């Protein structure tokens, strides 16, 4: 069968295309935003990508069109598809019908950490000899693909709450029918499709409602939004996780939603989260010594260990696997070091993600300077929903450089001048530019040996990472 994927370079749709190719289908697709790592990964799999959304693409002879959720009414290709009455479906629906049927699905949901936690879980199962299938919304360093069918009944999936398609406004994850569910956290995001936090909680409760009674829901004790969601009704087994003083109540006095829920905890042995112990009553305590940083990643790792334990992986094997975990591309990934300046690529695009990433790096580098370079690119950011938390999220940085997107409803400079007093960063420590050329020129003049530059965006950032490394190399005479 010939499948044509509309919006193929999105992380979910690109991974889906790889699975379809592995099933033996001919797969082609199109997109307007084509950039690595997904574009190069698809090309390596022999999947042709056409630029843009021209109606003439419908003449390719495809048997079915899989429509990504970035495709909306008014798009010329969408309008032509509907007018010609051609067969189409959403990505999540196709995945449910063609890949997930009859399998033990382990789903990782939440506002933050889905990609990293899902990758950790897939890696643990791989190291345990369980040959899982997986679909991850990123490029994992321990695997050479973002998706594969696998060789067992187990399938790990990053379960996104974003809508399925222009014709199906349910969250993607309601299609997956998981047996093991990780609920990492829950905050307001995706302001372009959700009116408030309550609307997102409703979608998460739809997910809770389809988990079987002998399935498992894993949740953090300290997340009130998730607690409230579970209290709306939960018919499955549950286990609680957190950083705390004992297995029942953490250091902040937080308890599981339900008293009978088994509780797991992680205890830091290094301030940057590079070493931590895992405890649960009735289970042997183990130590994870790994390359990742930050309390948020400790929580991600703990959730992955508990999810793997649900399908029979011992805590010892899971901890040993995480000690060999190499992370995910674009998650505080070191992409180069020139003239003693280290440059990182990070996907953070929400104030909480920005804050936790910088906190983890600060604990690791001590007093060395951190320079955050941020593109507020997501729809929620552009709409200004999180602007009053944005400056506070950067307080662990010594300098913050912002790109002012052309299509944004508010002005970064006005925000900095109006709200800078409570952030701990002086106005002089922040700079706003309209182009990446200006950003590179500024950084060339400002960066010193020993600095750590974290470039944060959920897009390509106009190739800023590589261009900056080249400029620093030229500055140093390389």
Q: What is the mean pLDDT of residues 78-86?
A: 98
What is the pLDDT at residue 251? 42
Higher pLDDT, 461 or 370: 370
pTM over 0.85? The answer is no
Q: What is the mean pLDDT of residues 237-245?
A: 85
Say whether pLDDT at 247 is over 50. no
Say whether pLDDT at 424 is over 60. no
Q: What is the mean pLDDT of residues 315-323?
A: 95
Neighbouring CB atoms inside 10 A of 37's CB total: 15
What is the pLDDT at residue 384? 62
Say whether pLDDT at 461 is over 60. yes
Q: What is the mean pLDDT of residues 160-164?
A: 90
Say whether pLDDT at 248 is over 50. no
For the chain, the residue count is: 478
> CA 51, CA 410: separation in Å to the nearest integer?
31
**Residue pLDDT, tens place only, 33-54:** 776 777 888 888 899 999 999 9
Task: Please enumerate in sequence order all residues whose Cβ is within 8 A of that of 16, keeping only pairs 6 or more positions apart, or say none.
Answer: 5, 66, 91, 94, 95, 135, 147
> CA 388, CA 416: separation in Å to the nearest integer?
10
Query: By the 8 A CB rule, do 167 and 115 touch?
Result: no
Architecture of the domain made up of 333-475? Alpha-Beta Complex (3.90)
Neighbouring CB atoms inside 10 A of 198's CB total: 12
What is the pLDDT at residue 382? 65
Say whether pLDDT at 387 is over 70. no
Q: pLDDT band at 208, cuts 50/70/90?
A: very high
Q: Domain segments of the chain: what residues?
A: 2-91, 102-322, 333-475
What is the pLDDT at residue 458? 78
> CA 157, CA 48: separation in Å to the nearest integer?
24
Q: What is the mean pLDDT of residues 396-416?
A: 81
Query: By the 8 A CB rule, do 112 and 297 touch?
Result: no
Query: What percentage of residues in the chain have a pLDDT greater than 70?
Result: 90
Say whether pLDDT at 250 is over 50. no
Say whether pLDDT at 61 is over 50. yes
Q: pLDDT band at 352, cuts 50/70/90?
A: confident
The fold for domain 102-322 equals 3.40.1190
Query: By the 8 A CB rule, do 274 and 289 touch?
Result: yes
Say whether pLDDT at 192 is over 80. no
Higher pLDDT, 157 or 274: 157
Average predicted confidence (pLDDT) for the chain: 87
Q: pLDDT band at 386, cuts 50/70/90?
A: low
**E-assigned strand segments in 153-261:** 154-158, 163-165, 168-171, 180-183, 216-220, 237-243
Say whether pLDDT at 276 is over 60. yes
Q: What CATH homologous superfamily does 2-91 map to?
A: NAD(P)-binding Rossmann-like Domain (3.40.50.720)
H helix or E strand, kind and range, residue 441: helix 436-446
Nearest alpha carbon to residue 338 among 204, 451, 458, 182: 451
Q: What is the mean pLDDT of residues 303-325?
A: 95
Higher pLDDT, 24 or 383: 24
């Amino acid at each position: 069968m010939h499948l044509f994927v509309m919006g193929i370079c999105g992380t979910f749709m690109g991974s889906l295309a790889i699975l379809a190719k592995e099933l033996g289908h001919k797969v082609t697709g199109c997109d307007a935003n084509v950039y690595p790592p997904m574009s190069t990964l698809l090309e390596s799999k022999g999947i042709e990508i056409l630029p843009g959304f021209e109606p003439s693409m419908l003449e390719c002879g495809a048997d079915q069109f899989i429509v990504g959720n970035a495709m909306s009414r008014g798009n010329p290709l969408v309008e032509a598809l509907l007018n010609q009455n051609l067969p189409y479906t959403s990505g999540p629906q196709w995945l449910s019908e063609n890949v997930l049927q009859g399998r033990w699905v382990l789903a990782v949901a939440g506002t933050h950490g889905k990609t990293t936690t899902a990758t950790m879980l897939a890696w643990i199962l791989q190291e345990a000899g369980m040959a899982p299938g997986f679909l991850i919304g990123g490029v994992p360093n321990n695997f050479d693909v973002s998706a594969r069918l696998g060789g067992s009944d187990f399938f790990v999936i990053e379960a996104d709450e974003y809508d399925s398609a222009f014709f199906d406004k349910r969250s993607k994850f309601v299609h997956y029918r998981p047996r093991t569910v990780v609920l990492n956290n829950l905050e307001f995001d995706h302001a372009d499709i959700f009116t408030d936090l309550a609307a997102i909680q409703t979608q998460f409760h739809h997910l809770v409602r389809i988990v079987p009674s002998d399935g498992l829901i894993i949740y953090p004790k300290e997340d009130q939004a998730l607690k409230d969601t579970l209290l709306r009704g939960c018919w499955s087994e549950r286990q609680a996780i957190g950083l705390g003083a004992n297995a029942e109540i953490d250091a902040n006095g937080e308890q599981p939603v339900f008293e009978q829920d088994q509780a797991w905890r992680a205890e830091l042995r290094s301030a940057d989260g590079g070493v931590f112990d895992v405890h649960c009553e009735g289970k042997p305590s183990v130590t994870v010594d790994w390359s990742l940083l930050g309390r948020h990643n400790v929580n991600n790792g703990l959730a992955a260990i508990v999810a793997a334990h649900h399908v029979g992986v011992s805590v010892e094997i899971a901890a040993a696997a995480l000690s060999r975990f190499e992370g995910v591309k674009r998650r505080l990934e070191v992409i180069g070091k020139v003239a003693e300046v280290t440059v990182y690529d990070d996907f953070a695009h929400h104030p909480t993600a920005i804050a936790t990433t910088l906190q983890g790096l600060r604990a690791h580098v001590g007093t060395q300077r951190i320079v955050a370079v941020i593109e507020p690119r997501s729809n929620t950011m552009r709409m200004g929903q999180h602007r009053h938390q944005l400056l506070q999220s950067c307080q662990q940085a010594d300098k913050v450089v912002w790109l002012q997107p052309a299509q944004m409803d508010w002005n970064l400079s006005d925000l900095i001048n109006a709200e800078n007093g409570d952030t701990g960063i002086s106005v002089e420590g922040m700079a706003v530019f309209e182009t990446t050329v200006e950003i590179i020129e500024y950084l060339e003049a400002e960066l010193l040996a020993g600095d750590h530059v974290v470039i944060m965006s959920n897009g390509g950032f106009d190739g800023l990472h590589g261009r900056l490394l080249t400029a620093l190399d030229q500055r140093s005479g390389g």
